[in-house]
Amino acid sequence: MRGFGTSGRLRHTRLQAVLAVAAMGAAVALPVVLVSVGGGVYDHEIASIQNAGYQIAVSSAGSHSITGAHADVARFGAVAGVTYVSPVLSIAVTAFNTTGAATAVLAEGVIPGEFEPTLGSTESGLFPSPLPLGDPTDRIHYANGTYSGPATYDVLVSSPFAQAYDVRTGDALALGLTANASSAVRYNVTGTFGVPPSIIGPIGAFAIVLPLSDLQVMTGYANGTGTIVPDAVDTIQIVVTGHVATDPSALESVRAQIQTLVPYYGVSSLGQEAAQLQAADSVLTGFDLALSSVGIAIGLLFLALVLFRRVESDRRAIGIRRAIGLPARSIAAGIVGDGLVLAAGGAAVGLFGGFLLVTFLAHFASSTVQEAAQLAVFDPRMLAELAAAVLALSVVASLAATRSALRLDLSEALR
Amino acid sequence: MRPAAPATIALEGVTRTYGHGADEVPALRGVDLTIAPGEFVSVEGPSGCGKTTLLNLLGLLDAPTTGVLRWGGRPVGDRSDRERTRLRLEGVGFIFQRFYLLPTLTARENVELPMRALGVGRAERARRASGLLGEVGLTRRERAYPHQLSGGEEQRVAVARALANAPGLLLADEPTGELDSGNTQAILDLLVRVRAARSATLVLVTHNPEVAARARRHLGMLDGKIVRDARDA
Ligand SMILES: Nc1ncnc2c1ncn2[C@@H]1O[C@H](COP(=O)(O)OP(=O)(O)OP(=O)(O)O)[C@@H](O)[C@H]1O
Ligand SMILES: [Mg+2]
């Protein structure tokens, strides 16, 4: 019956090895996915910031009139080195297409001539140039703090929006502040713009771009009736040129000058924002790794148990080796080696499994997860460090089993 | 290979008790014994009288519960575990009552194992293992695993393994228990020859009077004590 006994135990041992490798694999796959996807998303956002056509952003949480926006353009534009100042006012509106279907969308009011230079290298390719918004300076309708001349009623729509609501260039699109179609105003769609593959990028967020003061037409405020459009978000994007664009300290000095003009607004340079994102990325990565270390600890505990069980069931063989006079270190090396083999198997399964999982998510997950997975970056150094750490820790995990093997009572083990 | 010179082994009032409390088994109850280098000693006695326990102590696999065990005059208890392990590897060839071959190694690998631990090169190891397996008549079973061998074949592999490092002390626990008379003679002849060639000490436990008769000194054990110690003239 020895044959049966041996093969039964062998199967048992193999099953334990498979389970240990699977546990370590799952533990390693977690940080691979978290760090690769998280890091990828941050990298992408940082890259898009570094790709932006502007260098300084002024933001305020408060309500901001168009008068104020034009005044700020003049004030900020007077600072040496500043070439373009583009206020961007976001507001939720209701759009009614030709069939009368209503959709809530985010509209972005801009000064077309100032807005265009703020588009980064990727974004600018997505917009028609020059922007077909009729009124590059937003002055036909607005001048010197008053509204004069006719509004252009021109509007650009994003291509996903155009596709979803069957809106084409040349169509009419009614926009209103409320869901009441009768108080909406007719605009002309003069073009579409593409949306870059970004999750939290600035353009993906809005569906409609129109001249700033044309926002006011919607309320009748421009004609002396109605109320001023409250802006939900206020951003002023500032383009600098010359040495200011390349010299961080010069840029910082411009930022500081603008800050003194609007001490109550947030004024940040994109370099700072990128640095902040970088810092946030590091914090997130650290957090991911801390979280994953729980999983890895469990995997290692499992590994330790499996090795311990092996020593238990190999008492006889270990006893024989000790009795013959094999040194303790060779026994220990055998067990640590076993641990390393299992951990290496687990690390390989985890790295490859994590990679497969991310690839799978990039193809089949729901939209946001899919986008995030597509941005995943596999940093070979991080992965190598992870594998090395797991291997090093497996040595620690095999200590308990090694200890018990070396403490074996020979006269007991050889009974 | 440099044969490790055998040492004088002395037991002074040695007892060995297994277990604790109600489970206590006194396997040796006060043994005084000196074995000089190169002696050929047989140990006889009924089952359970402590023969294997005595061999384990002589071979440094176990330590006395009370009393002193000396190797070359020095109490073994003074030596570290590491030193005792090294002494076993270089100086002791153990033929276990139950063979104790490693089931995952072939016959030849089992014989090579002690040489490997001693750092003998691969080719030399293979050559010597083959030679030893030839001497025990197993040339054609070199690659067999223990579970593919008969009891007698396993026993002969165990003999070959015990001789691998040319030890100065050979401890044989019924080394011919599983063998027919032809093989018994062959193995005995081998052990006797090896002992003579290296002036090694040989302590041999047996139930077979013919085997015991080959020794020069005859110990009789009963209930954990040595009750007879006779030398041939
Ligand atoms: N590890 C152990 N734990 C408990 N009792 C043991 C242990 N080893 C041996 N014994 C007991 O000690 C006594 C002596 O055992 P030992 O193996 O030395 O006998 P033996 O003379 O070799 O017997 P046999 O001829 O059957 O091999 C026996 O009663 C045995 O049951
Ligand atoms: Mg015995």
> B26-37, pLDDT tens digit by residue?
999 999 999 999
**Buried b / exposed e along B3-20 (16+ C-beta atoms within 10 A):** bbebbebbbeebbbbbee
For ligand 1, atom 14: residue with the closest CA: B50
> CB of A156 within 8 A of CB of A192?
yes
Q: What is the DSSP letter of A213?
A: T
Contact B86 A2 (CB under 8 A): no
Amino acid code (one letter) for A280: A
Rounded distance from Cα B64 to ligand 1 centre (Å)? 14
**Helix runs in A179-225, H state only:** 214-217
Q: Which has the closest alpha carbon to A41: A239, A198, A205, A211? A: A198
Q: At a CB cut-off of 8 Å and minimum separation 6, what does A408 contact? A: A315, A318, A319, A322
**pLDDT > 70? residue B226:** yes
Task: Please state, in angstroms and rounded to a whole number, the distance separating the CA atoms of residues A91 and A64.
Answer: 12
Residues in chain B: 233
Average pLDDT, chain B: 93
A-chain CB neighbours of B61 within 8 Å are 323, 410-411, 414
- Contacts B104 to A, Cβ<8 Å: 317
- Cβ atoms within 10 Å of A294's Cβ, excluding its own: 11
How many whole angstroms separate alpha carbon A307 and alpha carbon A401? 6
Q: Which ligand is nearest to the CA of B19?
A: 1
Cis peptide before A248 (omega within 30 of 0): no
A157-179, pLDDT tens digit by residue? Answer: 998 888 888 889 999 999 988 88
- The CA distances from residue A160 to A101, A116, A121, A194, A259, in Å, are 16, 20, 20, 8, 37
Q: Which amino acid is at A400?
A: A
Gap between the Cα atoms of A42 and A39, Å rounded: 5
Contact A218, A185 (CB under 8 A): yes
Element (H, E) at A175: strand A172-176
CA-to-CA separations, A368 to A33, A193, A199, A307, A331, in angstroms, rounded:
15, 21, 7, 42, 52
Q: A341, exposed or middle or buried, with CB in 10 Å at 0-12, 13-18, 19+?
A: middle
If you ran DSSP here, which 8-state letter would residue A200 be given? S
Can you tell me which atom of ligand 1 is nearest the CA of B55? 18
The shortest C-alpha distance from B226 to chain A (Å) reads: 21
pLDDT confidence of residue A202: 45
> What residue ranges in B135-224 does DSSP mark as E strands?
169-173, 201-205, 217-222
Model confidence at A198, pLDDT cuts 50, 70, 90, reads low
Contact A411 B103 (CB under 8 A): no
Instruction: Say what the pTM is.
Output: 0.71
As a whole-number percent, the residues of chain A with pLDDT over 70 amount to 93
Q: Give the gap in angstroms from C-alpha B101 to the nearest C-alpha of chain A.
A: 8
CA distance B26 to chain A (A): 14
Chain A interface includes B196 (CB < 8 A): no
Please state, as a whole number, how many other Cβ atoms lie within 10 Å of the Cβ of residue A84: 21
Q: Do A324 and B161 touch (CB under 8 A)?
A: yes
* DSSP-derived 3-state class of residue A224: coil
| Ligand 2 center to B97 CA (angstroms) | 6
Strands (DSSP E) found in A241-303? 266-269
Residue at B205 is within a domain: yes
| Residue-averaged pLDDT of chain A | 86
Structure tokens at A395: 């040595």
The H or E element that residue A44 is part of is: helix A2-51
ipTM above 0.95, yes or no: no
- Which residues does chain A have within 8 Å of residue B147's beta carbon, measured at their own beta carbons? 2-3, 6
Listed by start position, the domains of chain A span: 7-47+276-413, 61-264
State the nearest Cα–Cα gap between B61 and chain A, in angstroms.
6
Q: Which domain holds residue B31?
A: 9-231
Residues 6 or more apart whose CB falls under 8 angstroms from that of A264 comprise A60
Q: Has residue B168 been placed in a domain? A: yes
Q: Which of B61, B169, B173 to mutate to test the interface with A (most CBs of A within 10 A)?
A: B61
Please judge whether B85 and A327 are an interchain contact, meaning their C-beta atoms are less than 8 angstroms apart.
Answer: yes
B117 in contact with A, Cβ within 8 Å: yes
Instruction: Please name the helix (run of DSSP H) or strand (run of DSSP E) that holds residue A350, with its range, or none.
Output: helix A328-364
- What's the CATH number where B133 sits? 3.40.50.300
Paired strand residues for A102: A96
Residues 24-63 of B with CB under 8 A from A: 53, 56, 59, 61-62
Helical (H) or strand (E) element with A82: strand A82-96
- C-alpha A114/C-alpha A18 separation (Å) is 63
Q: Is residue B1 part of a domain?
A: no
Which residue, A239, A234, A233, A232, is CA-closest to A270?
A239
pLDDT at A327 over 80: yes
Query: Which residue in chain A has the smallest CA separation from B148?
Result: A3
Query: Within a domain: residue B157?
Result: yes
Across A144-153, B54-63, B136-145, B189-198, least confident range: A144-153
Distance CA B75, CA B7 (A): 12
- Give B159's pLDDT tier (boundaries 50, 70, 90): very high
What is the C-alpha to C-alpha distance for residues A356 and A86, in angstroms, rounded to an integer? 44
Determine whether the interchain pair B102/A320 forms a contact, defined as Cβ–Cβ distance below 8 Å: yes
pLDDT tens for A283-294 read 998 898 899 999
Question: Does B79 touch chain A if contact means CB atoms closer than 8 Å?
Answer: no
CA–CA gap between residue A246 and residue B120 (Å, rounded) = 69
DSSP helix/strand/coil, B169 = strand
Radius of gyration (C-alpha) of chain A in whole angstroms: 32
* Half-sphere exposure of residue B16: CA atoms within 13 angstroms, side-chain side: 25
Report the run of H or E that residue A23 belongs to, with start and end: helix A2-51
For residues A368 and A362, give the distance between their C-alpha atoms in angstroms, rounded to a whole number. Answer: 10
CB contact under 8 A, B61 and A411: yes
- The answer to whether the CB atoms of A325 and B92 lie below 8 A apart is yes
Which sign does the torsion angle of CA A115, A118, A120, A121 carry? positive
Lining ligand 1 with CB less than 6 A are A 411-412, 415; B 18-19, 25, 27, 45, 47-53, 97
For the record, the structure tokens of A263 come out as: 């001490």
Which pair of tokens denotes residue B25? Answer: 């088994």
* Interval B218-222 mean pLDDT: 97
Q: Could you report the per-residue pLDDT of B80-139, keeping only the tens digit for each?
A: 999 999 999 999 999 998 899 999 999 999 999 999 999 999 999 999 999 999 999 999
How far, in Å, from the CA of B222 to the mean position of ligand 2?
Answer: 13
* Total of domains in chain B: 1
For the record, the structure tokens of A398 come out as 């095999």
- Do B146 and B103 contact (CB within 8 A), yes or no? yes
Lowest model confidence (mean pLDDT) among A46-55, A202-211, B107-116, B166-175: A202-211
Q: Which residue has the tokens 């009032």?
A: B13
Question: Distance (Å) from the C-alpha of residue B96 to the closest C-alpha of chain A?
Answer: 9
- Residue B96: its chain A contacts at CB < 8 A? 323, 414
Q: Which residues of B touch A318 (CB under 8 A)?
A: none
**Contact check, Cβ <8 Å, A411/B82:** no
Q: Is the pLDDT of residue A2 over 70?
A: no
Please give the interface size between A and B, counted as residue pairs whose CB atoms are below 8 Å apart. Answer: 62
